[in-house]
Amino acid sequence: MPRKVNVISTCFNEELIQGSTQEDNLQRAMNMLDAFTELKPDLICFPEVFLVTGGDHHHETSEELTQQTYHALSKQAERLNSYIIASVHEWIGGNKYVAAWLFDREGNLAGRYLKYYPTDGEMKLDGITPGTEIPVFETDFGKVGIAICFDIGYPDLWHSLKLKGAELVVWPSAYDGGFPLEAHAWFNSYYVVSSVRTNHSKIIDKTGKILASTSKWGGWTAKTIDLEKQIFHIDNQYDKLLEIQGRLGSKVTIESFSQENIFTMESNDQEWPLARIQEVFQLETYKEYHKRSENIQHGKRKADV
């Protein structure tokens, strides 16, 4: 069945809020969440250690403010009936981590990710301890992974999230990130949602296409995505697209990519889930096509030995 997810990502436009206190930034997050009520979000994302945006990045967050932030986000998640992901500095067992909290729709802490690859500076200057696990979290709409900032440079982490079933990866960060995020989305065939302290938080399709972005003048962006969307190769299939569109009309969304020789398809109708469309029109996904080709290749190599 179609799995439509209303995603909101935020940025904090750091250059515009220099001198902000951590209390200012918590209030800024609360103001955003108040404004998102009518958007009916399923997932809202905030940047890496968002409380320090525009201020002293090495200034310690008090335990009192950390707890205040936790409870404020929890209440908003429950009020909005939405998942929220937000990153903070957190002390656990005597060690300091860059953490990302995942709150569920009832305001409960549904998961916590501890940054696996902190920078040299974070470890030396801020006393950050690296995390030891790369989890994937179950939500009521699908499986979500989290990577934080410097994690962007380690493809093994992103591939590990794919192997564990992630369908969407949220990347809270201090900076924009750029094209590596699009590459991670494409190579792992999942959505990537970035949330940054700077200007350009993005919602990225599993093809690597940027679907939505914040800007210097707009600190949030919203997009409905479908986790059931599939990628297909055009070989032996592109001539079916007009027939599918003509028969199903608005029940299906098709987008083609001529340079990449692919197209994507998502269902907009519960009576026509993508699995049914694939069966009726005998469509082969991009992965299935490659796997079938690999099997033939292996057979021919063995025959030539």
Contact between 262 and 286 (Cβ < 8 Å): yes
Element (H, E) at 196: strand 191-196
- The C-alpha atoms of residue 237 and residue 227 are separated, in whole angstroms, by 22
Render each residue's pLDDT in the chain as its tens digit; 305 residues: 789 999 999 999 999 999 999 999 999 999 999 999 999 999 999 999 999 999 877 778 999 999 999 999 999 999 999 999 999 999 999 999 999 999 999 999 999 999 999 999 999 999 999 999 999 999 999 999 999 999 999 999 999 999 999 999 999 999 999 999 999 999 999 999 999 999 999 999 999 999 999 999 999 999 999 999 999 999 999 999 999 999 999 999 999 999 999 999 999 999 999 999 999 999 999 999 999 999 999 999 988 76
> For position 304, what pLDDT does the model report?
72
- The C-alpha atoms of residue 56 and residue 18 are separated, in whole angstroms, by 10
In this prediction the pTM is 0.96
Residues with Cβ within 8 Å of 90's Cβ and at least 6 positions away in sequence, in order, are 66, 96, 97, 99
> For position 159, what pLDDT does the model report?
98
> For position 112, what pLDDT does the model report?
98
Please give the backbone phi and psi of residue 113, each rounded to the nearest 5 degrees, phi first: -115, 135
Q: Can you list the alpha helix ranges (DSSP code H) found in 114-273?
A: 120-125, 155-163, 179-188, 241-248
